[in-house]
Amino acid sequence: MSDYSIPGVRAQTPAPVAAADTTDAKAVVLGQARSVGEVLAQSQVEDVLAELDRDLVGLAPVKARIRDIAALLVIDKLRTNLGLVSEAPSLHMNFVGNPGTGKTTVAMRMAQILHRLGYVRKGHLVAVTRDDLVGQYIGHTAPKTREVLKKAMGGVLFIDEAYYLYRPENERDYGQEAIEILLQVMENQRDDLVVILAGYKDRMDTFFQSNPGMSSRIAHHLDFPDYAVDELMQIGQKMLAQQNYVLEPDAEAVFHRYLGLRVQQPHFANARSVRNALDRARLRQASRLFADRDRQLSADDLRTLAAQDIASSRVFQQTPA
Amino acid sequence: MMTNPTGRLTQGQFSFLPALTDAEIAMQIDYGLKKGYAWSIEYTDDPHPRNTFWEMFGMPMFDLSDAAGVIMEMQACRKAFPQHYIRLMAFDSTRGVESVAMSFIVNRPADEPGFMLLRQEVDGRSMRYTTRGYGTEKPETKRY
């Protein structure tokens, strides 16, 4: 404003904040991109996608779907740059799959991708379950849900085991209230946050059947398949590499056989079971080394898991050989 | 008028400027969040400068990352109290600071009559002065 005005004199409206001022320099450059390559180069989405391919074993359908979504977002960005107005895409998602199939990990990557493309402003992930949303007495639920939503604004809200929100057996359950607030925010503040629901397939299906409003507001349903034994093997090796352990060549064969048996047992939780199995193998390795007090231990001794560390697992004893 | 030269209450930050737009408020909130402050919302219908205790609207908001959450709450407060004074406050929890670092008014009544200067003659020629808001003559919740 050129001339000074006395505050409170309402004749003069304050100068509107230019859109460019609120966004950072990166977004301004993104606004000029005309080709897919430019958007990808400037937003560095490619890196996240490559990381996703590299770090996550298997999950081919999920990766393909994420590529599709990323492609849509990139094209949408180009359309907006040329002034072709399209409605802001609905980005709420639903991840279904058995335990340990990587739903949370993928959600975290999703937040990064959405952030790099400028669809969420901050790109953080807030992971919650029913306990964080639903209160214990009347009037407790709404503030609790709103608090979580406020924390998730500008990022991704990840609701694990979302089907617990709805309990049909108890009609006075407060979960319904949380769902209604969620729906309202999902609809009205689409630019501010992205909601990702996760859970087991059959239970999520029932959840959506009883909450059609929720189902219609979620555009993307991603199915996380179980891992094959070879994939689990790769996952296990990645986990060990991260913790500076290696499997002895014999141990590798034993571990492969272990996984084959474990997959058929109840309560198999994919990658999580692999991690637990490896943690137990580390315990056994530690007690094996501990038993021999006078031995000088080399770095190799300390980082190698032997076949016997895995072979003494309960899984082998239960099944008649 | 001496007691109300601008026709509006001047308390807190930015109160001599024209009212901030929501976009500008969001930028201030983001600035505070970047500094690690926790935002909270308060309202009152008694704008006397010595009234430091305004009512809280909801809980203070900790662990937020984006202004949208505070804006959402602010809109809810404006809807509930359209004719009240509403201010946003940023609390700095740094050890040794532990006090309000930012505070500004984001909603005010359409008409702000200002304050009256009351004079009282005491002890011969002495005078005592006090101020009193014209708007606060009516009981709480019926003002403005």
Nearest CA in chain B to A1: B18
CB contact under 8 A, A8 and B7: yes
Which pair of tokens denotes residue A303?
């980082």
**Which residues in chain A are closer than 8 Å to B69, comparing Cβ atoms?**
149-151, 153-154
* pTM to 2 decimal places: 0.80
Amino acid code (one letter) for B68: A
Angle formed by the axes of helices B67-80 and A141-152, nearest 10°: 140
**Which residues in chain B are closer than 8 Å to A22, comparing Cβ atoms?**
23, 26-27
Nearest CB neighbour to B21, from listed A5, A16, A189:
A16
The DSSP bridge pattern shows strands B38-44 and B55-56 to be: antiparallel
Nearest to A162 by CA among A190, A203, A202: A203
User: pLDDT tens for residues B64-115?
Assistant: 999 999 999 999 999 999 999 999 999 999 999 999 999 999 999 988 888 8
CB contact under 8 A, A189 and B72: yes
Q: Could you tell me if B131 lies within 8 Å of chain A, comparing CB atoms?
A: no
SS3 assignment, position B97: coil
User: pLDDT tens for residues A4-23?
Assistant: 555 555 544 444 444 444 44
ipTM beyond 0.85? no
Q: Could you tell me if A155 lies within 8 Å of chain B, comparing CB atoms?
A: yes
Q: Report the C-alpha gap between A224 and A198 in whole angstroms.
A: 10
Q: What is the signed CA dihedral for A135, A107, A186, A225, rounded to 10 degrees? A: -90
Counting residues of chain A whose pLDDT is more than 70, the rounded percentage is 89
Which pair of tokens denotes residue B21?
């737009």
Nearest CB neighbour to A124, from listed B61, B65, B72:
B65
For residue B1, pLDDT over 50 is answered with no
Q: Report the C-alpha gap between B48 and B134 in whole angstroms.
A: 10
Asked whether the beta carbons of A155 and A195 are under 8 A apart, the reply is: no
> What residues pair up with B118 in beta bridges, in sequence order?
B130
User: pLDDT tens for residues A25-79?
Assistant: 455 566 777 788 887 877 778 888 888 888 888 888 888 888 888 888 888 888 8
Which pair of tokens denotes residue A285?
């390795």
> What residues pair up with B41 in beta bridges, in sequence order?
B88
CB contact under 8 A, A17 and B72: no
Q: In chain A, which ranges are E strands?
A: 93-97, 125-128, 156-159, 194-199, 220-224, 246-247, 304-305
Show Cβ contacts of residue B62 under 8 Å, excluding neighbours closer than 6 positions.
Answer: B38
Residue-by-residue DSSP string for A245-310: -EE-HHHHHHHHHHHHHHHHSSS--HHHHHHHHHHHHHHHHHHHHHH-TTPPPPHHHHHEEPHHHH
